[in-house]
Chain A
Amino acid sequence: KNQVEQSPQSLIILEGKNCTLQCNYTVSPFSNLRWYKQDTGRGPVSLTIMTFSENTKSNGRYTATLDADTKQSSLHITASQLSDSASYICVVSAGREYGNKLVFGAGTILRVKS
């Protein structure tokens, strides 16, 4: 069964600290993996996309990694800010032969405290 599991479910950190969110998936075949940021009561916004051949991709203070062999991805947030408080969702896309189906994780809720 195609699944995306994220950990932890929720996380509280102090402003300025770093944190790492985890994503494990069983989706096969694999096309690409995205991390989305969703502010409370809003729609998700894409942060990064990674294909099979990419190991690391950065977007400002956000750095995503992908290990396609172990089917794991992480999102590292550096020097956190209050505005980073949101839900972070890992989304894996299956291949074209499966209609490019997207499988969404349940998200990690991050709260940054001052």
Chain B
Amino acid sequence: DGGITQSPKYLFRKEGQNVTLSCEQNLNHDAMYWYRQDPGQGLRLIYYSQIVNDFQKGDIAEGYSVSREKKESFPLTVTSAQKNPTAFYLCASSRTSGSLNEQFFGPGTRLTVL
């Protein structure tokens, strides 16, 4: 099956801990994205990567870090510096970063800080 997978589906974190969310795609897409979704708000872009070994900050990058060592993988680390990390995190990919290219989304990871 081609698609995007995210793991875990649910994640619980204690305050002060770093956690890493996994995102893998087998669509051979160049571009990958991380979004955060909060109730009553539109998706907000955290980081994006147009190509391997390159990534750019989105609108709300503070407290997050990413890496893009392989084309198919784009993990997101939520650090202890992120003040309010409880949210639904969505990973997406597209063939390129061009605007007409559809972004395909993974199933999401719900992160809860205890």
Report A's interface with B, CB cutoff 8 A: 4, 9, 31-32, 34, 41-46, 49, 51, 89, 93-96, 99-107
Contact = CB atoms under 8 A, between A and B. Distances in A.
A42 B107 contact: yes
A43 B99 contact: no
Given A103-B42, A104-B42, A43 B100 contact: no
Interface stretch (B11-19, B63-71, B75-83, B90-98): B90-98
A106 B42 contact: yes
Contacts of B110: 41
Contacts of B45: 101-102
Contact of A105 (B42, B97, B100, B107): B42
Contacts of A103: 42
Given A4-B42, A41-B108, A43-B90, A102 B100 contact: no
Nearest to B98: A100
Secondary structure of the B side of the interface?
loop
Contact of B105 (A44, A49, A94, A106): A44
Contacts of A45: 105
Interface residues of B, number: 20
A43 B102 contact: no
B67 to A, nearest CB: 21
Given A31-B99, A95-B99, A100-B97, A43 B41 contact: no
A45 B92 CA distance: 11
B25 to A, nearest CB: 12
Contacts of A102: 45, 103
Contact of B102 (A4, A49, A95): A49
